[in-house]
Amino acid sequence: MLSLGRADLKACLDAVHAVGEACASEEGFARGGVKCLTRLVASDLTHLSVCDLDASHRAVVSDVPGAISKRQIAVFDRHFSEHPLVRAHSRNPAARTVRISDCLPASAFRGSALFDEYYRDIGIDHAMAVPIHVDRSLLVSFVFNRQRRDFEERERARLEVVRKHLGDLFRLGRAVEGARATQWSPSPEPGIPFDPRLTARENEVLHWLAAGKTDRDIGDILAISPRTVHKHLQRIYEKLGVETRTAAVVRAMRRG
């Protein structure tokens, strides 16, 4: 890997510190990451990508709200298993920061159905993924996207330096949120397995949903407003690829 100078390493340290300040929850980590990491590597579109490897489905948190529509996510999912970055990182404990151009020639990528149906549609020519959490069923990455100009080796090296630290912050945010939820909330009924695609709070909402509780009931149990419960449900639907409460519960029970 390219050797970085003192200025590069200071920029890496500053970026990790900035993301760390936002990681009191998984959502805070995601929002803080896509905002702060572009100070380290410029990007036209940056998102936290959460890939369910069993379902071949991706959910994203983007620095440009609405930049990737539900239709475009569905198109991505159709090409999920053939995506060069997904193939490089899935269930790979040694996964490192790579560009699409590291995986296949530019001509092959631009001639693919993935590029024609997804990347051309969102106006992106180059992508680089930083895998921060990889296990048997989940792949979590920060993904940087650009038009025209590919990412340089120095930029890839910068992100590789912070990759392991970002993974630690992601797991810390998940643990803190889970501990907070456990401390202040009654235990939901057993039967719905923990879903790694969802935050700890979203898993709680899903558990109580499966127990037949209304939005107001769930809000009273978790000490949050019904409006906040509704927002959690909308994110659950998006991440699970469903549109109704019943479908979300059925999808969750099938994972068990």
Residues with Cβ within 8 Å of residue 29, at least 6 apart in sequence: 19, 22, 23, 48, 169, 170, 173
Q: What is the dihedral of CA 78, 80, 118, 202, to 10 degrees?
A: 90
pLDDT grade, residue 256 (50/70/90)?
low
Q: What is the dihedral of CA 80, 82, 85, 91, to 10 degrees?
A: 80
| 83, 114 Cβ separation under 8 angstroms | yes
Read off the CATH number of the domain in which 13 is found.
Answer: 3.30.450.40
Residue 183 has pLDDT above 60, yes or no: no
Q: How far apart are CA 139 and CA 59, in angstroms?
A: 11
If asked whether residues 127 and 248 sit together in one domain, one would say: no
Q: What is the full DSSP assignment across 157-190?
A: HHHHHHHHHHHHHHHHHHHHHHHHHHHHSPPPPT
**Site of tokens 């120095």:** 154
Q: Beta partners for 61? A: 48
Q: How many domains does the chain have?
A: 2
pLDDT grade, residue 191 (50/70/90)?
low
If asked whether residues 131 and 164 sit together in one domain, one would say: yes
First to last CA, the chain: 42
Residue 187 has pLDDT above 70, yes or no: no
**Domain containing 85: what range?**
6-176
Q: CA quadruple 113, 117, 120, 123: dihedral positive or negative?
A: negative
What's the pTM?
A: 0.74
> How much is the average pLDDT of 133-159?
95
| 177, 152 Cβ separation under 8 angstroms | no
Residue 188 has pLDDT above 60, yes or no: no
Residues 82-115 have pLDDT tens digits of 999 999 999 999 999 999 999 999 999 999 999 9
Q: Beta partners for 136? A: none
**Site of tokens 């107001």:** 216
Domain C-terminal end among 149, 176, 203: 176
Return the top range by mean pLDDT from 62-66, 113-117, 252-256: 113-117
Q: Are strands 57-62 and 126-134 parallel, antiparallel or unpaired?
A: unpaired
The answer as to whether 26 is a domain residue is yes
Domain C-terminal end among 127, 154, 176: 176
Return the top range by mean pLDDT from 149-158, 183-192, 240-249: 149-158
The answer as to whether 1 is a domain residue is no
**Residue 156 buriedness (CB in 10 A; 0-12 / 13-18 / 19+):** buried
Residue 65 has pLDDT above 90, yes or no: no
Q: CA quadruple 57, 22, 133, 112: dihedral positive or negative?
A: positive
Domain C-terminal end among 145, 176, 207: 176
The more confidently predicted of residues 31 and 22 is: 31
Q: Beta partners for 130? A: 142
Q: Which two tokens stand for residue 191?
A: 């039967």
Residue 178 has pLDDT above 90, yes or no: no
If asked whether residues 130 and 206 sit together in one domain, one would say: no
